[in-house]
Structure 1
Amino acid sequence: MNSTKLSKQDKRRFIGNLSLKRCFIAAKALLLTIVILNYGTSAVNAAPQSLRADIKIRLILNTLSDSPSVRIAKDPRNNTLYYLKRNGEIYRVNLGSSTSTLVYNSSNHNIGETQGLAIGPNGTIYLVGNADLVNNQTKAIIVKGEIQSGTQQRIWSILAKSAGYPKSKTAYDHRFNGVVVSPDGSFIYVNSGSRTDHGEVQSSDGLYPNTREVGLTACILRLPSNGKNLFLANNRATLKTAGYIFAEGIRNTFDMAFAPNGDLFGTENGPDRDMSEELNWLRLGGNYGFPWRIGGTDNPQQFPNYNPANDRLLDPRFNAVQKGYFRNDPTFPIRPNVTLIEPIPNLGPDADSYRDPVDGKVKDASVLGQSFSSFTAHRSPLGLVFDTQGVMSPEFNRDGFMLSWTPGDSTGETVAGPFKDPSQDLLHLNLTKVGTTNYKFNATRIVKDFSNPIDSEIIGNKIYVLEYGGNEGIWEVTMPTQ
């Protein structure tokens, strides 16, 4: 990537909850903590198809089993590929023989529900999981498997545990999920998603009156990779004092990745309102707006005159709309007196449909000559990777690539998901830095028809896509080289 070119669980919330459902729900109610909030997985699709003659696709293997596949990662030392099951099983992939071998499970690392997997430059595996507690509480557990000196055996230990904190008992308990390791291996960055859809009160059937977000939710934490038994208090001020808060105002950044220039990016999943999903340049101390700004626009519930009956962006097929979570809300928290960082604008040509809040019609931002922050509503952007080695052809060199989980409607709005946007694809993200304040990008579809793609990894000019739906395939996408 040069100085100017960075060179949108089961469904979108797998990205939170983990009581995922493997059927379509007519509402966007459940997505990945693993959040998959609500859109269950899609029916088994035909094989994914390349949209360019110079991009090739082949099936490596199917990973379908009793527990869903949720993450894929490589060991940077030798490019060995691993995938993670929600029950904590980790499999090593043999690309040559298209087979996999179970190498670790919960008996090794002691986490029974996992949502995050990353591997550091020295081969250390980092796992992020969650555990249910009494009184509808949860806690996060982050472990690491370090290579024992002189061997290839890993010793597992606890890097950090959180205090217990209240779940909302809804589809919006995103919990701890995405994790990425800094390029030098010194830190891990962990996403803790929101417990609400859009900042509304969620009292967990009265257990936690007047509770919206809490100290441990809606943020990204940065933890030292050499940490041991760190304690993460459910108190934002305490977390900040310890230096653990990296960014705030995050609804659910289920996936993060470092670009070739060292900048950190994250995909952000939006609410059950037709608000766009985000791509953000994540920076230390930044506040990304949730719940006051979502998808580059104001959350109307913060305003005293809000009347949901007049809100053209509320689709009755979605869970939060059906449950009445969009309401006139006089006690909505006051917006903080800080600069809220806006999403990166998408200049098209793809993934940029939006519903006009004035007339309720679905429109195409780039066709109208408008920028758009950042992806079509309900896409559930995941699986962000970059050509960090700079091996791809000039058109793609050092650029980004991203998946989207949710099945959409390519011509209309007949599904509870993306409108006039098929989604379930691989996008090429051509990013350009705009001074020191932000980026802009063009999004172009290059592969279509995955089945709930949930994560990806990149090795050289090959992108490996893991599906959550169908047979949970791992697909190899070969990109053109220099």
Structure 2
Amino acid sequence: MRRPVLLALLLLVSLLLLSGCQPTPPPSTDITPAPGGTVPAPGGTVPPAGITSTEEIGSAGETAVDILLAALERQQEAAAIVTNPELGRDVAAIRGAVLQASPHIVFVSAQIGFAQALTGDEMQPLLSAALADEGSIVQLAPLILLPTTPDDQVLLHFDELVIHGGAALGAINLALSLLGAGPSAPGAGHVLVEGELQAPSGYQVEIVANNLNFATVVEVAEDGTVYVAEAGYSYGNIQTPARVLRVGEDGATEVVAEGFNGPIAGLATHESFLFVSHRNTITRIDLESGERLDIVTGLPSNGDHFNENIAVGPDGKLYITQGVATNSGVVGLDNYLFGWLPVAPDVHDIPCRDLTLAGENYTTGNILTPDVTDVVSTGAYLPYGTPSEPGQAVTGEVKCSGAVLRANLDGSELEVFADGFRNPYGLAFAPDGRLFVTENGPDVRGSRPLTGPDNFYEVIQGGWYGWPDFYGGVQVGDPSLTPPGHDPLKPVLLDPPPLAAQPVAKFTDHAVANGFDFSTAEDFAPVGQAFVSLFGDLTPPTAGGVVVQVGQEVVTVSPDGEIESFLTSAAGDNGSPFFRPTDVTFSPDGTVLYVTHFGQIRGVPGGIVPTPGTGALLRLTR
């Protein structure tokens, strides 16, 4: 089993736990039972009778086998069995002991989130396959075992991480698909080949460069030079360089700049300058002198989303899109399992203007303490575990969440141009000078799970676009934003600002609308027609366990909002397209359209699995 799948399993547990997270007090939730088990008690915030804390078993002198045997002796108890972090590197011992273990356990790695519960008949073949790779076994330390009986409420203990209740057992049915060589298991990775991509008659599609690592953005300078960014970041724990490449006509690449803090999500050129948007920072590079200067720093990009696309406007200013820290305004368990809450517990969304809170709070088990009885309430725009009060004021800042920012080309006079977006990703000016953005809609996860479309907005200076209480111009509580099985949400804001505009176009939920550009040459397409990259869904993790295959194409959007498919790929052997477009950019004369393909990445029942070295740069002509 490859490491991304193991990482994906951690996300699986998180997302299924989070789907039951509701405002105070938490209502009953339906939880799928483990194989051979029954549904655990609802809520999942109170430990079983007699269990008030975790009990550590194991010392530096014991082996993994000793600890597994101790776990077996306690098979009927609901206490967590936690190994010493120094243990767990005896590969043969772990493999042998696990295969002889209890017919009904949960097996977890504190570091990479390998979670599974199996009956005796299921355990041996599946774990044999999972444990066959010695490299994977080494990554499984420290180990955690949770012996369970079918009606137990159990406790997961990830060193200092505690997840309450039996909801973990509800993850088991989906987790089974991640073991073995089923269709959800990652392969070696698919690299695009000529003929796989389909455009309307009259258009030619070429693969200019292949085997790129997570290609996110393409920029074409006034002299026709093509630049591509390799993000240096993806889901999971895959490390690749965050760098900018210059791509020749023949596809040859050379590194222009590297050493950025991934992900790189935006490039812009102006005169001799190349601007790079990477986490927390906008860097300006003088392509003539080589001088490199961080002109904007401290952007709030330590949560779920980052500072992303950039563009130089007709006014000679630099425009920047900035995403939010959370899914829908409240820090929750999903943010712990995404990795940033334990290392940055004070991170939260920052308003761009003064707002007043309604006092809506959301209760979870306290993920930051080992006390299984500890719960916390968290309000919008506040750190995890900090409740809000009705009428509480939160003060706006310039370096804020969910905004389009504007600055001079030296980074001075940074200001909020517009706000109230969730994740405004793509950014471009139409031929008539108007500014537009794409916005990624909400996910079914976290303390405020929501459904909702991706959007294409015209951006009006000073405008507010609704987040965290409006999505696509619709307020929370509307049935269209309420996931099946969830109660309608209440607004977290009192007396919000008026909406600046409705979307010009709405894309399907989870389409992930990213970079885009406008046609400027009638020879290619009608002037003013937008070409938008739809990266595509990463379901089931982002849709509450439901698979919804959408996006994975480039579409056109007419000025009146009509959407049509433009560039697609054939389905692969798993029925899913291979195409993951992240950005589109026209040449200065408007006759060539460049498209970046991120590379193979899949949403699987346990999370998201990317494959490096499968990205590409495409070129379309007519």
Q: CA deviation at 1:22?
A: 8.9
The answer (yes or no) to whether the contact 1:175–1:217 under 8 Å persists in 2 is no
**Aligned-partner residue type, residue 375 of structure 1:** F
**Aligned-partner residue type, residue 141 of structure 1:** T
User: What is the alpha-carbon distance in structure 2 between the residues aligned to residue 58 and residue 415 of structure 1?
Assistant: 36
Q: Find the residue that maps to 2:432 and give its secondary structure.
A: coil
User: What is the alpha-carbon distance in structure 1 between the residues aligned to residue 216 and residue 13 of structure 2?
Assistant: 22
The answer (yes or no) to whether the contact 2:477–2:489 under 8 Å persists in 1 is no
**Relative to 1, partners in 2 of residues 1:334 and 1:469: Cα closer, same or farther, differing over 3 Å?**
same
Structure 2 counterpart of 1:443: 563
Alignment of 1:295-334 (within 5 A): 295-300=472-477, 313-314=482-483, 332-334=492-494
Asked if 1:424 corresponds to 2:601, the answer is: no
Asked if 1:476 corresponds to 2:603, the answer is: no
Asked if 1:277 corresponds to 2:454, the answer is: yes
The answer (yes or no) to whether the contact 2:568–2:579 under 8 Å persists in 1 is no
Structure 2 counterpart of 1:190: 320
Q: CA deviation at 1:296?
A: 2.7
User: What is the alpha-carbon distance in structure 1 between the residues aligned to residue 459 and residue 584 of structure 2?
Assistant: 20
Q: CA deviation at 1:220?
A: 1.4
Q: CA deviation at 1:397?
A: 3.1
Aligned pair partner of 2:501 in 306, 328, 341 = 341
Asked if 1:178 corresponds to 2:355, the answer is: no
Structure 2 counterpart of 1:289: 466
Asked if 1:125 corresponds to 2:268, the answer is: no
User: What is the alpha-carbon distance in structure 1 between the residues aligned to residue 563 and residue 489 of structure 2?
Assistant: 36
Structure 2 counterpart of 1:57: 205
User: What is the alpha-carbon distance in structure 2 between the residues aligned to residue 475 and residue 469 of structure 1?
Assistant: 12
The answer (yes or no) to whether the contact 1:28–1:417 under 8 Å persists in 2 is no
Q: Which has the higher contact order (CA 8 A, sep 6+)?
A: 1
Structure 1 gaps of 5+ residues are: 1-20, 30-38, 131-139, 231-241, 302-309, 346-373, 432-439
**Relative to 1, partners in 2 of residues 1:27 and 1:469: Cα closer, same or farther, differing over 3 Å?**
farther
User: What is the alpha-carbon distance in structure 1 between the residues aligned to residue 186 and residue 476 of structure 2?
Assistant: 28
CA RMSD across the alignment: 3.7
Alpha-carbon deviations, 1:354-395, whole Å to 9, x = none?
Answer: xxxxxxxxxxxxxxxxxxxx111100011201113x2425x5
User: What is the alpha-carbon distance in structure 2 between the residues aligned to residue 425 and residue 23 of structure 1?
Assistant: 28
Alignment of 1:98-177 (within 5 A): 98-106=251-259, 111-130=260-279, 140-147=280-287, 152-162=288-298, 167=302, 173-177=304-308
The answer (yes or no) to whether the contact 2:227–2:245 under 8 Å persists in 1 is yes
User: What is the alpha-carbon distance in structure 2 between the residues aligned to residue 418 and residue 296 of structure 1?
Assistant: 23
User: What is the alpha-carbon distance in structure 1 between the residues aligned to residue 544 and residue 329 of structure 2?
Assistant: 28
Query: In terms of mean alpha carbon deviation, does 191-200 or 400-409 score higher?
Result: 400-409
Alpha-carbon deviations, 1:234-287, whole Å to 9, x = none?
Answer: xxxxxxxx6600011011111111110011111000011331110000121011
User: What is the alpha-carbon distance in structure 2 between the residues aligned to residue 464 and residue 41 of structure 1?
Assistant: 28
**Relative to 1, partners in 2 of residues 1:212 and 1:428: Cα closer, same or farther, differing over 3 Å?**
same
Q: CA deviation at 1:126?
A: 0.9
Alpha-carbon deviations, 1:125-162, whole Å to 9, x = none?
Answer: 111222xxxxxxxxx22110124xxxx33311121112
Structure 1 counterpart of 2:247: 93
Structure 2 counterpart of 1:11: none
The answer (yes or no) to whether the contact 1:27–1:416 under 8 Å persists in 2 is no
| TM-score normalised by L of structure 1 | 0.64
**Relative to 1, partners in 2 of residues 1:161 and 1:253: Cα closer, same or farther, differing over 3 Å?**
same
Structure 2 counterpart of 1:252: 423
Q: CA deviation at 1:61?
A: 1.4
**Relative to 1, partners in 2 of residues 1:105 and 1:278: Cα closer, same or farther, differing over 3 Å?**
same
Which structure shows the bigger proportion of residues in strand conformation? Answer: 1
**Relative to 1, partners in 2 of residues 1:51 and 1:127: Cα closer, same or farther, differing over 3 Å?**
closer
Structure 1 counterpart of 2:401: 217
| TM-score normalised by L of structure 2 | 0.51
**Aligned-partner residue type, residue 423 of structure 2:** N
**Relative to 1, partners in 2 of residues 1:341 and 1:80: Cα closer, same or farther, differing over 3 Å?**
same
Q: CA deviation at 1:328?
A: 5.4
**Relative to 1, partners in 2 of residues 1:207 and 1:141: Cα closer, same or farther, differing over 3 Å?**
same
Q: CA deviation at 1:288?
A: 0.9
The answer (yes or no) to whether the contact 1:277–1:380 under 8 Å persists in 2 is yes
Aligned pair partner of 2:523 in 382, 392, 407 = 392
**Relative to 1, partners in 2 of residues 1:162 and 1:428: Cα closer, same or farther, differing over 3 Å?**
same
The answer (yes or no) to whether the contact 1:117–1:125 under 8 Å persists in 2 is no
User: What is the alpha-carbon distance in structure 2 between the residues aligned to residue 383 and residue 285 of structure 1?
Assistant: 23
Structure 1 counterpart of 2:152: none
Alignment of 1:75-90 (within 5 A): 75-76=221-222, 78-87=223-232, 88-90=242-244
Alpha-carbon deviations, 1:428-451, whole Å to 9, x = none?
Answer: 2211xxxxxxxx321111211252
The answer (yes or no) to whether the contact 2:426–2:516 under 8 Å persists in 1 is yes
Structure 1 counterpart of 2:216: 70
Larger radius of gyration: 2
**Aligned-partner residue type, residue 457 of structure 1:** T
Alpha-carbon deviations, 1:38-74, whole Å to 9, x = none?
Answer: x999963765432422121111111434xx2222111
Alpha-carbon deviations, 1:287-334, whole Å to 9, x = none?
Answer: 111112102321229xxxxxxxx9884268xxxx8xxxx77568x222
Structure 1 counterpart of 2:580: 452
Q: CA deviation at 1:175?
A: 2.3
**Relative to 1, partners in 2 of residues 1:176 and 1:41: Cα closer, same or farther, differing over 3 Å?**
farther
Structure 2 gaps of 5+ residues are: 1-6, 16-183, 233-241, 336-340, 347-376, 383-396, 444-449, 570-577, 601-613
User: What is the alpha-carbon distance in structure 1 between the residues aligned to residue 186 and residue 10 of structure 2?
Assistant: 6
Q: CA deviation at 1:414?
A: 12
Q: CA deviation at 1:123?
A: 3.1
**Aligned-partner residue type, residue 475 of structure 1:** L
Which structure shows the bigger proportion of residues in helix conformation? Answer: 2
Query: In terms of mean alpha carbon deviation, does 205-214 or 255-264 score higher?
Result: 205-214
Structure 2 counterpart of 1:378: 510
The answer (yes or no) to whether the contact 1:194–1:218 under 8 Å persists in 2 is yes
**Aligned-partner residue type, residue 477 of structure 1:** L
Q: Find the residue that maps to 1:199 and give its secondary structure.
A: coil
**Aligned-partner residue type, residue 101 of structure 1:** E
Same amino acid, percent of matched pairs: 19
User: What is the alpha-carbon distance in structure 2 between the residues aligned to residue 213 and residue 167 of structure 1?
Assistant: 14
